[in-house]
């Protein structure tokens, strides 16, 4: 990596107030990512606290039902806190401790990163404040209470569209007022360098395990690996150790909301253009004057107008494919995998499952697909019921 650039994408487009702190973080990460004690400590946390390695599960019923490629799920939904987000927060919070920080802040959309951050903060005795769009605190009220149970303070963000991008804005504003004791634990492979690299490294455990597991179970590499993409952290984690395996297709599934032509979408690769925002040069949903566009998806975790710079790069060189998946398709897949495999996955992950259901039948029986189930879907049950017009009263 050179100076946080992936081709032309990436960089460090942040206010001067944060520059020295971001350089300190770069140095600290550079040091500790090679420190055997740090690596051993993180490995222990992953095994004994987060429940790693996560299972690589052969979905026999779906394979038979869809009648094409052999389907495997990488079960990040079985991690402690219920999603892949724990992989990143354990790494960043451990780093925060090593840097002598006593407080972390984080943004959250669906609440999965917020819950994970609050969890790691509780474990490591760090003060924790979470920024969450007010709209999302309503959509995901249970997760707000969960974070509070874990000892975090949740700030509902009332600026802009009151969703994930506004939560990031507010976290950046808070960080620029208080760098001495605070690390901003960013939740995805986005933001200024070193975040895209650091978060990718912590998430790459997904593909490191999956690659070993599939070789052991099948004796060969998969035909394709796939994952949902908002900012893109579970996808980067799922792709990373397969990037050099040129024959393995990498497929990212974006949230198309009501459809890429409706204006109510969050599919950045399908509808965005190059821009500079949230500390990085990447692709963003924006208008002709560079104003960031409001985005929409049924999934609060994919409801973000940008995408991590390494994804923008993998897209630009044609190494990874990105496809839009609508709310309707995702909800259909959410229900299908529940009925067929007995797995209630996150509505985010259901975007990847939906595309899997399209491509698996067209593939040969000796093809293998690994799809990342980034999280579990308990948090989404009420929203899915609402989508189907069912009013749940307790």
Partner 1 sequence: MNRIENAFKNKKAFIAFLTAGDPTFDSSFENIMSAVKAGADLIEIGIPFSDPIAEGVVIQGADLRALKSGMTTDRAFELAKMVRKETEIPLVFMTYLNPVFKYGYDRFFAKCKEIGIDGLICPDMPFEEKDEADAFAKKHGISIISMIAPTSEERIKSIAESAEGFLYIVSSMGVTGVRSEIKTDLASIMESVKKYAKVPAAIGFGVSTTEQADKMARLSDGVIVGSAIVRIIEKFGEKSAPEIYKFVKSMTDAVHSI
Contacts with partner 1 by CB under 8 A lie at 11-21, 159-160, 165-166, 169, 172-173, 176-179, 273-279, 284, 286, 288-292
Catalytic annotation, pick one of 85, 101, 165, 281: 85
Q: How far is the CB of 4 from partner 1 (least distance, A)?
A: 10
Q: How far is the CB of 176 from partner 1 (least distance, A)?
A: 6
Q: How far is the CB of 256 from partner 1 (least distance, A)?
A: 22
Q: CA angle, corner 257, sides to 254 and 261, nearest 5?
A: 95
Q: What share of the chain is helix, strand, coil (3-state, %, to 5)?
A: 45, 20, 30
Q: Which is nearer to partner 1, 20 or 361 (CB)?
A: 20
Can you tell me whether residue 138 is helix, strand or coil? helix
Q: How far is the CB of 308 from partner 1 (least distance, A)?
A: 17
Q: Which element (helix H / strand E) includes 276?
A: strand 273-277
85 is catalytic: yes
Q: Which is nearer to partner 1, 262 or 273 (CB)?
A: 273
Q: Which is nearer to partner 1, 266 or 356 (CB)?
A: 266
Burial degree of 391 (CB within 10 A; 0-12, 13-18, 19+): exposed
Backbone angles phi, psi at 313, to 5 degrees: -70, -50
Instruction: For residues 394 and 381, give the distance between their C-alpha atoms in angstroms, rounded to a whole number.
Output: 13
Find out whether 234 and 84 touch, Cβ atoms under 8 Å. Answer: yes
Catalytic annotation, pick one of 21, 107, 310, 329: 107
Q: Which is nearer to partner 1, 173 or 261 (CB)?
A: 173
Q: How far is the CB of 227 from partner 1 (least distance, A)?
A: 27
Q: How far is the CB of 3 from partner 1 (least distance, A)?
A: 8
Q: What is the DSSP string of 317-348?
A: TTSEEEEEEEHHHHHHHHHHHHHHHS--B-HH
Find out whether 185 and 105 touch, Cβ atoms under 8 Å. Answer: yes
Q: CA angle, corner 246, sides to 241 and 251, nearest 5?
A: 70
Sheet with strand 182-184: strands edge to edge: 153-157, 127-133, 103-108, 182-184
Q: How far is the CB of 283 from partner 1 (least distance, A)?
A: 12
Backbone angles phi, psi at 261, to 5 degrees: -100, 5
Counting runs of H as helices and runs of E as strands, what totals does the chain give?
A: 16, 14
Instruction: For residues 323 and 46, give the distance between their C-alpha atoms in angstroms, rounded to a whole number.
Output: 31
Q: Which is nearer to partner 1, 11 or 111 (CB)?
A: 11
Q: How far is the CB of 159 from partner 1 (least distance, A)?
A: 6
Q: CA-based Rg of the chain, rounded to a whole angstrom? A: 19
Tokens, residue 325: 């998946």
Q: Which is nearer to partner 1, 165 or 200 (CB)?
A: 165
Per-residue buried b or exposed e for 228-241, using 16+ beta carbons within 10 Å of the residue's own CB:
bbbbbbbbbbbbbb
Q: Which is nearer to partner 1, 7 or 290 (CB)?
A: 290
24 is catalytic: no
97 is catalytic: no
Residue appearing with tokens 């990874």: 320
Q: What is the DSSP string of 258-271?
A: T-TTSS----HHHH
Q: Which is nearer to partner 1, 39 or 274 (CB)?
A: 274
Residues recognised as catalytic: 85, 107, 374
């Amino acid at each position: 990596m050179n100076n946080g650039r992936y081709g032309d994408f990436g960089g460090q487009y942040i206010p001067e107030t944060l520059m020295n702190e971001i350089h300190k973080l770069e140095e600290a990460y550079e040091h500790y990512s090679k420190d055997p004690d740090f690596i051993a400590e993180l490995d222990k946390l992953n095994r004994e606290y987060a429940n790693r390695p996560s299972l690589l599960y052969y979905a026999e019923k779906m394979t038979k039902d869809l009648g094409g490629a052999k389907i495997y799920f990488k079960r990040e939904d079985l991690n402690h806190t219920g999603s892949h987000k724990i992989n990143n927060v354990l790494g960043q919070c451990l780093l925060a401790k090593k840097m002598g920080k006593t407080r972390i802040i984080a943004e959250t959309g669906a609440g999965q990163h917020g819950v994970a951050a609050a969890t790691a903060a509780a474990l490591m005795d760090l003060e924790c404040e979470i920024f969450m769009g007010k709209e999302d605190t309503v959509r995901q009220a249970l997760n707000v209470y969960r974070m509070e149970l874990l000892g975090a303070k949740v700030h509902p963000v009332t600026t802009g569209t009151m969703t994930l991008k506004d939560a990031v804005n507010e976290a950046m504003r808070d960080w620029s007022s208080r760098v001495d004791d605070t690390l901003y634990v960013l939740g995805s492979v986005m933001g200024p360098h070193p975040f895209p690299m650091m978060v990718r490294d912590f998430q790459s455990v997904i593909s490191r395990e999956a690659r070993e597991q599939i070789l052991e179970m099948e004796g060969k590499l998969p035909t394709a690996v796939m994952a949902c993409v908002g900012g893109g952290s579970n996808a980067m984690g799922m792709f990373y150790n397969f990037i050099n395996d040129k024959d393995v297709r990498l497929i990212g599934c974006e949230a198309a909301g009501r459809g890429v032509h409706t204006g109510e979408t969050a599919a950045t690769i399908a509808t965005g253009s190059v821009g500079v925002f949230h500390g990085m040069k990447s692709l963003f949903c924006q208008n002709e004057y560079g104003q960031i566009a409001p985005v929409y998806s049924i999934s609060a975790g994919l409801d973000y107008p940008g995408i991590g710079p390494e994804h923008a790069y993998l897209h630009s060189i044609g190494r990874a494919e990105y496809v839009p998946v609508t709310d309707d398709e995702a909800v259909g897949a959410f229900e299908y995998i529940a009925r067929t495999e007995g797995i209630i996955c996150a509505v985010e992950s259901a975007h990847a499952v939906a595309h899997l259901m399209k491509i698996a039948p067209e593939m040969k029986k000796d093809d293998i697909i690994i799809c990342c189930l980034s999280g579990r879907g308990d948090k989404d049950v009420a929203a899915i019921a609402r989508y189907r017009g069912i009013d749940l009263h307790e």
